[in-house]
Structure 1
């Protein structure tokens, strides 16, 4: 859902609230500078990306007619998606949380068992014994 062009076409939306959200965006500024367009009245002025058009054609984003663009913004589509799938997302989050908790408890139990058997100190001693010291002559 991160690719706005794909989202515009699949969700039939444009902008955050409305297709006019693109009018003063950085994308429109750059796009129009690339085309040497300086005025909003110029017929080549890009109002929105071509993916916002109901029928996608090359440079259809330059057609200023409002019927050419999807009217609804994408924020509403995203909010609706999360509202429809809230239960599934919540169950997935709880499942991941449970896995994390089991891993945490298991590691704490293992650490406690190692300390009781004094293996932890044995491991530290082994690590020190294997360190090689070199004398400079």
Structure 2
């Protein structure tokens, strides 16, 4: 198994991610931060759900360009503007929708609240690390 996901009993049981991912492989794909815009620069929507879904789809496309699949992703970093509970719920819903469609599994993840991103209409940004065999 190239990626072992571990949730130790000594850590809180996670919802939607894995506490630890042990990965082995011969190629690493690291993406730049992806936001909720399409290839033409059009914003997916003004809400967290739409932008999260599109940003995740962009991450999966970036990993594919490096020769990987969503299943090869071992770590996500998510930067969120003003992460209130309702906004995070919307964000998680968008991520889950994109993951289901792409066949992505749970992985190690860190979410960081920020005051802003490069463009004021961007609500979140996601970057990923994938390990390929």
Q: TM-score band, normalised by the shorter chain?
A: under 0.3
Higher strand proportion (structure 1 or 2): 2
- Taking structure 1 as the reference length, what is the TM-score of the superposition? 0.24
| Structure with greater Cα Rg | 1
Choose between structure 1 and 2 for higher RCO, CA contacts under 8 A separated by at least 6 residues: 2
- Taking structure 2 as the reference length, what is the TM-score of the superposition? 0.25
